[in-house]
Amino acid sequence: MIHLQRHRDGVVLPVRATAGARRAGIGGEHDGALKVSVTQPAEKGKANKAILTLLGKALGLSNDRIELLSGATTRQKRVLIRDASLEELATRLDNLLEQHPPDR
């Protein structure tokens, strides 16, 4: 289960990121966080930008609603989803994970 957290501006989504992967995509859940892989390297913010773009597309949200709160230089990131309720984001994540089951 992904541990979403209420925030005054929306909801905080914990992300476990992998940069420089062979394929970009959503990989399920890991220790309460959404696993996200991108092909961009972890240099000069390229991977972080790619992660936010991938999340926006996957969750059906515009890029201006997604912001990196913390974890710019680590795998564990906290992403703010603006103007979203906890219930709305939980539903979107459930739908996303059903469509993209993790590789086994």
* Confidence (pTM): 0.93
21, 39, 45, 64, 72 from 60: Cα distances, Å: 23, 21, 22, 12, 23
Compute the mean pLDDT over every residue in the chain, rounded to the nearest whole number: 94
Please give the Cα distance from 48 to 77 (Å, whole number): 9
Q: What mean pLDDT is predicted for residues 30-47? A: 95
What six digits make up the tokens of 22?
């062979």
pLDDT at 103 (0 to 100): 56
Q: Residue 10 in contact with residue 83, Cβ under 8 Å? A: yes
Express each pLDDT in 50-69 by its tens digit.
999 999 999 999 999 999 99
